[in-house]
Structure 1
Amino acid sequence: MLRFAVAMGCLGAVALLAGCKPVGPDYNKPVYTAPPAYKETGAPSVTAPPNPVNGGWKPASPSDGMLKGKWWEVYSDPALNALEERIATNNQQLKQATENYLAVRDQIAVVRADLFPKLSLTPSATHYKQSTHRVNVLSSTNAEYNDLIMGGQGSWEPDFWGKIRRSVEAASANAQASGADLANVDLLLHAELAADYFQLRGLDSQTQLLKKTVADLEHQLDLTQRRLQGGVATDVDVAQAETQLETVRAQLVDVGVARAQFEHAIGTLAEYNLPEFSVPFSPLEDKLPEVPVGVPSQLLERRPDIASAERQAAAANARIGVAIAAYYPTIDLMGTGGFESTHGGSWIQGPSALWSLGAQATQLLFDAGQRHAMTDQARHQYEAQAAAYKNTIFQAFQEVEDNLSTLRILNDETAVEQRAVAAAQRSYDISNQRYKAGATGYLEVLTAETALLSNQRTLTDLETRQFSASVQLVRALGGGWDASLLPR
């Protein structure tokens, strides 16, 4: 009984020592101070934050004035909503990212298991028959007997220096980084689908415009042919009208190539059977929605790629502690116990008991600088990851500013192009009237019509680009994600 109490006391002391503070630096998040406001906030499709109270910005909550959840619903397009909903349940790339995250998360349990003893049970039953003609045999020796053993072993490496706890810390941070990577894949897939969808609808707008132009040109050709019959027009006028008509028809066919490719991309992202999938004809005539931007400090909490880089920095910091722990002794506790007998009746009885307890310590004395190099390596890897975290932030701000400026400039360009279309329309109307009155040749009409179509297509393209830039701005802002959604 005394020996048992002493053993338990020793184990308690060992457990207390194993709970000491782990070696290595505790993690501090790399410092980055966000600017007070974005440089580019001039687009009417952008909702800027309210003016700061008393002239100073306060730290923002990640959810203040930002898109939440299903951000694509801001476009109020039921067809887009239905396509986006399929990504969560059907997209294989997202499933791959999910399984990768779950595999990384399981690594936490793998590493944490080293904090506890390893126990094993090894029962055995053996019947022996020895030769009676062997050397030095005694007549009293039993030549045939059983050996029944019910044994078990236990081993434990107490985490005195925190090597295992730092490894668990690194595994947990890696799992959170993988969770953020999963959220980033989800965001990119939804944004790609929305961008492809609006590109397709923009091509439908081009198709609508070209079909209307073809109808006008067919009427124009008919008029020119009748004027030729009346002796007013020439064969050159008819040839020019036919050339213009066939040119626009070719442009109409060419639009179908790009539309088919975007349709295939959308069907693949939404996991549809492509031979049976199609997106109905739907010209882009919606009003561009406003995107709430918030303040720059929110971006650090809204971008999953920033969260992933920060968590990877935390994991790299924990690995410094793992490297430092190699300087300290490795202490192993071992024990065996059980019962052994030659007869089943006396197998599990006190006199048949056997046990042993032991401990072993190992201190590496010379490794030619390996531990020092590995510790330096871990510190450099942390500094590299901290720099990667800050670089991810810089790139995130660049993406936001790029898309804010794109929206602002496209808005200005669209306003100018609208005036150009109006002017081209007046020029065409005047030229057409002059042609019908016989005051000019068809070349003037052709020139005005070509300029009108070119400006109309440019305006349609600008409107499509505005929607694409709006989607890219949402993606740059992190969509509806925030750091509170990181797995714990």
Structure 2
Amino acid sequence: MASFDSSAVHVRRAVRLLPLAAALVLAGCVGTPTLTQPAHAGVPVPTRFSAESTSPLWTTAAPAEAQPRGAWWQSFADPVLNDLVERAATGNTSLQEAAARLAEARALLRSADANRAPQVGASTGVARQAGANTASGGPVPATLATAGLNVSYELDLFGRLSQASDAARLDAQARAALLQSARLMVQADVAQTYLQLRAVQAERALVQESLDAYQGTLRLTQRRYQAGDVAELDLARVQTEVAATESEALALERQQVLLRNALAVLLGEVATGFTVPPAPAEAALPAIPAGVPGTVLARRPDVSAAQAAVLAAQARVGVAQAAWFPAVTLTGNGGFASPELGDLFKWSARSWGIGALLSLPIFDGGQRAAQEEGARARLEGAMAAHKGQVLTAFREVEDQLGALRLLAGQAEAQERAVQSARRATQLSDSRYRNGLVSQLELLDARRSELRNRRQALQVRTAQQTATVGLIRALGGGWGEGASGALASADPVVGGGWLAAAPPAR
């Protein structure tokens, strides 16, 4: 009889452990989904940029989005610009928002990691109860006081928790890259806005110089008209030029106000009362080192963020797949339980318990299937966004390289036009004062000189802004603080990272 009872006990224990054994068998049959580089997004990788025939070929390299960018704006040799960029680094609201989103992503990562650790809690309570299903087992009310610790731990048999943690980690990496991208964007916007403001100020000074010359001509023409040497038509022509030039000067003043206000917002300051100190000299035009274009994707933080988003979406597909399998949670508790509050913490009132809980939804109305389908759709969207970011990166570099190449030739031709127009104005003024040419010819020469000098200013400003645009497209500068950073490349699609291969020696 005793043997029979012992066998029955073992059978009952075996039956209780069957669900856990089944879960462990399933765990051995199903592997945890692993993160892999996303499939090729269909972007044809160019061997070199069309605007730079000497660019090296592309090859595979390690990601370098975290490498230092250097203070690239210092290459313009403008202390006012240096100060503005530093002020924007601390006051720009877009950077503050990006930093807050990064802090949130890191907090979510800590929360996801915490789910993988044992959960410990304390509990205490007092209950008054009666009935067959209570501790007293009878109709007489009884009091039960409890106090203890509860411990639970979920076994991550199918990688659900680890996949969720991986996704949160990749989200944090993407936010860090987006903060880097926002910082570079703000620096570029400050530099371009400042350079445009300086250009408008220089153009305003040029128009004022022309206005002074027109006003001098007007005074001379008025005296000659009063003396009867010229007709009223000549006087009207000069008055027209003076009024038109004054209008252009006011239009440039308006542009200055708009650019100054935009610069104030970029710095996170109030536009009212915001001023920009005068520049000590004209900003220099940085030289582009040879071979830089071949490293376009080396440090592009936006491309890195797009790839991290793809991997995070892939991890969440694994989380959705793991929801089809059982969840096993180990629980334990220990403490005291007593019908008398005064006896609660006596050694005889101690109690403990351990357990294992296996849960598996059987019918959920298609909820898990819908969640997995949604995760796969988000993965497809992230891959499309990644491809678009790569295409944008190539386009931006091609745009700026082409612009700089053409602007260099345009600047040279425009300088020749300025020299010729200035000489033509000098000759026309001399001939007009000697009565050899008409006033109309002098006014035409001055208009031509003003137009060509303003175009030369605009071309130089375009060169400066295109240089800043190229720096932004390359993911940063190439100074000492960024040494070596332009020798590798950014994540592209298909598990590859593009970089420039070293030229053959």
- Summarize the alignment of residues 135-174 of structure 1 with structure 2, pairs less than 5 Å apart: 147-174=144-171
Deviation at 1:287?
3.2
Match in the other structure for 2:424: 427
Moved more, 422-431 or 181-190: 422-431
Match in the other structure for 2:108: 107
- Summarize the alignment of residues 69-84 of structure 1 with structure 2, pairs less than 5 Å apart: 69-84=70-85
Deviation at 1:33?
7.5
Letter of the 2:79 partner, please give it.
P
Query: Does residue 1:202 correspond to 2:199, yes or no?
Result: yes
Structure 1 residue corresponding to 2:33, chosen from 9, 21, 24: 24
Match in the other structure for 2:472: 475
Letter of the 2:384 partner, please give it.
A
Change (3 A) 1:405 1:144: closer
Deviation at 1:308?
0.6
Deviation at 1:396?
0.5
Match of 1:276, SS? coil
* 1:26–1:317 contact (8 Å) kept in structure 2: yes
* 1:177–1:308 contact (8 Å) kept in structure 2: yes
* 1:177–1:311 contact (8 Å) kept in structure 2: yes
Match of 1:115, SS? coil
Query: Does residue 1:457 correspond to 2:468, yes or no?
Result: no
Deviation at 1:295?
4.8
Partners of 2:70 and 2:179 in 1: CA distance? 15
Partners of 1:87 and 1:16 in 2: CA distance? 58
Deviation at 1:348?
3.2
* 2:300–2:490 contact (8 Å) kept in structure 1: no
Moved more, 468-477 or 118-127: 118-127
* 1:323–1:374 contact (8 Å) kept in structure 2: yes
Match of 1:327, SS? coil
* 2:64–2:490 contact (8 Å) kept in structure 1: no
* 1:126–1:146 contact (8 Å) kept in structure 2: yes
* 2:336–2:350 contact (8 Å) kept in structure 1: yes
* 1:20–1:162 contact (8 Å) kept in structure 2: no
Partners of 1:371 and 1:428 in 2: CA distance? 81
Match in the other structure for 2:12: none
- Summarize the alignment of residues 10-409 of structure 1 with structure 2, pairs less than 5 Å apart: 23-31=32-40, 34-41=45-52, 68-124=69-125, 147-282=144-279, 285-292=282-289, 294-295=291-292, 298-342=295-339, 346-367=343-364, 369-409=366-406
Match of 1:311, SS? helix
Deviation at 1:19?
11
* 2:64–2:489 contact (8 Å) kept in structure 1: no
Deviation at 1:355?
2.1
Match of 1:271, SS? coil
Deviation at 1:34?
4.5
Partners of 2:254 and 2:125 in 1: CA distance? 74
Letter of the 2:99 partner, please give it.
T
* 1:293–1:477 contact (8 Å) kept in structure 2: no
Structure 1-normalised TM-score? Answer: 0.83
Partners of 1:463 and 1:345 in 2: CA distance? 89
* 2:338–2:344 contact (8 Å) kept in structure 1: yes
Partners of 1:291 and 1:458 in 2: CA distance? 23
Moved more, 389-398 or 16-25: 16-25
* 2:109–2:165 contact (8 Å) kept in structure 1: yes
Moved more, 21-30 or 330-339: 21-30
Partners of 2:330 and 2:315 in 1: CA distance? 26
Deviation at 1:444?
1.5
Partners of 2:219 and 2:399 in 1: CA distance? 49
Identity %: 33
Deviation at 1:107?
0.3
Residue by residue, what CA displacement relative to the aligned partner does 1:21-48 show, whole Å, maximum 9, x if unpaired?
Answer: 9622432254577534322138xxxxx8
Alignment length, in residue pairs?
458
* 2:145–2:339 contact (8 Å) kept in structure 1: yes
* 1:204–1:283 contact (8 Å) kept in structure 2: no
Change (3 A) 1:144 1:378: closer
* 1:21–1:162 contact (8 Å) kept in structure 2: no
* 1:59–1:297 contact (8 Å) kept in structure 2: no
Letter of the 1:76 partner, please give it.
A
Match in the other structure for 1:5: none
Structure 2-normalised TM-score? Answer: 0.80
Change (3 A) 1:299 1:20: farther
Match in the other structure for 2:4: none
Residue by residue, what CA displacement relative to the aligned partner does 1:417-458 show, whole Å, maximum 9, x if unpaired?
Answer: 222222222332332233222223211112222222122211
Match of 1:151, SS? strand
Deviation at 1:373?
4.4
Letter of the 2:242 partner, please give it.
L
Match of 1:410, SS? helix
Match of 1:201, SS? helix
* 1:22–1:163 contact (8 Å) kept in structure 2: no
Letter of the 1:122 partner, please give it.
S
Query: Does residue 1:443 correspond to 2:440, yes or no?
Result: yes
Match of 2:151, SS? strand
Deviation at 1:148?
3.8
Runs of 4+ in 1 over 6 A off after TM superposition: 14-21, 60-64, 143-146, 481-486
Change (3 A) 1:296 1:391: farther
Letter of the 2:319 partner, please give it.
V
Letter of the 2:73 partner, please give it.
W
Moved more, 255-264 or 339-348: 339-348
Partners of 1:116 and 1:103 in 2: CA distance? 21
* 1:435–1:445 contact (8 Å) kept in structure 2: yes
Change (3 A) 1:377 1:146: closer
* 1:214–1:249 contact (8 Å) kept in structure 2: yes
Deviation at 1:367?
4.3
Partners of 1:230 and 1:259 in 2: CA distance? 42
* 2:174–2:309 contact (8 Å) kept in structure 1: yes
Deviation at 1:15?
11
Moved more, 304-313 or 390-399: 390-399
Deviation at 1:235?
1.8
Partners of 2:322 and 2:68 in 1: CA distance? 45
* 2:120–2:150 contact (8 Å) kept in structure 1: yes
